[in-house]
Amino acid sequence: MSRPVLGPAAEQAIAWMVRLRSGRDDARQQAQFQQWLGHDPANALAWEQLQRGLGGHFEVVRRAPGALRDTLLQPEVGRRDVLRALGGFSLLAGSLWFAARSDTGQALTADLHTGTGERRSFTLADGSRLTLNAGSAVDLAFSDSRRLLRLHRGGLVVQVAADPARPFIVRSDQGDIRALGTRFLVEQLVGTTRVVVLEHAVRVSLPSGSGLELGEGQAALLHAQSIEPLAAGQAYRADWVQGHLSVLDEPLASVIEALRPYRPGLIRVSPQVRNLRVQGVFPLDDSERTLAALEETMPIRVERYGAWMTLIEAR
C-alpha cells in the first residue's frame, strides 16, 4: 500500500492560502485566484475544505514580520514543509481533511508511531525488538506465513527473533527488506529508502523483482528503479538509538533533515548554505544545543521565530 499524498488541487489550495494571507493582496493576484478557483470543481472543493479546517492558523503567516513572509513565499520552501510547520497547532491537527491526507494524520493512525522528539522501543508478538526514531510510523501485519512491518515514515532499528516458518519483512515506499537472521536499520527518506545491516544479513528487493543481498556492515539505498550500494561503515547512522546524531562529511541540509523529527515547526535552510559540509556528533534531544553548535562552527546564522519557524541562512 503506497503512502497517501495530497492531490494537486489540495497542494494548490495550500499555495494560494499562503499567498493570499501573506499581506500582498492585489487585484492581479485576486484575479488569478478567482481564475484558479473556477477552473475545476476540485479546486473549489479543496479550497472550501482547507478554509474550514486550516484557515484560522494562516493568520499567523499574515501577521508574521515581512522578512519572514517573504521567506515563506520563496519557491525553495516546500508545501510539505508548510504542512509540517502548521501541523503543530492543535486545531490543525484535529482537522479531518488534513488528517486523512497528511503524513501526520497517517502517523496518528498507524499501529506504532512516535511523535516529535520521541523514540520508543517495542517487543513485538514474535519476540522481535523494534526501536522507532522520532516522527516514525509503522503498521504491523503478522500472519501464519509471514511477519510484515510497513514503514510509512521515519526510521527503525529491529532485532529480529528467529522464526524459520515466517519470514520477517520491512516494506518501505521503494521495496522490501527481508531479514536473514539479523539486526538492521531502515529509514524512509524522500524518494528513497536507506538500509544498513548491523548484524548478519538482509535481502533487499524492488517491486520490479531486482534484489541484492547485504551482509553485516553493508548498506544500500533503494530507489524506485534501482538499488545503490553504499560505502561500508554506515553503522553510525543507528546512533540515534542512543540519542546521538553522528555526521561524517555530509551536507548541512541532510543534517537538518535528520534534526527535523526532534524539533517542532518548520526549519528552512537557505540554498546558499545547504551544501556546506558538516562533521561531528550532536545531541538529538537538545536541538537548540545542536543548532548553537552548528552556528558557532559554520558561517551560518540561525533565526528563530517562536516555536514554529527556524531559518538557517548565510552569515
> In the prediction, which pLDDT does 83 show?
46
Q: Do residue 86 and residue 138 come from a single domain?
A: no
- Exposure b/e, 162-171, CB count within 10 A at least 16 = b: ebeebbbbbb
Angle, in degrees to the nearest 10, between helices 27-39 and 8-20: 160
> In the prediction, which pLDDT does 148 show?
98
Q: Which DSSP string corresponds to 197-253? A: EEESEEEEE-TTS-EEEEETT-EEEE-SS-EEEE-S--GGGGGGGGTEEEEEEEEHH
Confidence check: pLDDT of 124 > 70: yes
> What total of structural domains would you count in the chain?
3
pLDDT tens digits along 9-30? 776 776 676 666 555 556 777 7
Residue position matching grid coordinates 558561517 = 299
Residue 294 belongs to domain with CATH number: 3.55.50.30
Angle, in degrees to the nearest 10, between helices 27-39 and 41-54: 110
Per-residue pLDDT band for 212 (boundaries 50, 70, 90) equals very high
User: Which triple of cell numbers denotes residue 39?
Assistant: 477552473
Over residues 130-156, the mean pLDDT reads: 97
User: Domain range spanning residue 256?
Assistant: 243-314
pTM of the predicted protein model: 0.70
Q: Do residue 78 and residue 120 come from a single domain?
A: no
Residue 217 within any structural domain of the chain: yes
The rounded Cα 4 to chain-centroid distance in angstroms is 14
Residue 150 belongs to domain with CATH number: 2.60.120.1440
Q: Do residue 128 and residue 212 come from a single domain?
A: yes
Per-residue pLDDT band for 106 (boundaries 50, 70, 90) equals low
Q: Do residue 32 and residue 104 come from a single domain?
A: yes
In total, the chain counts a number of residues equal to 315
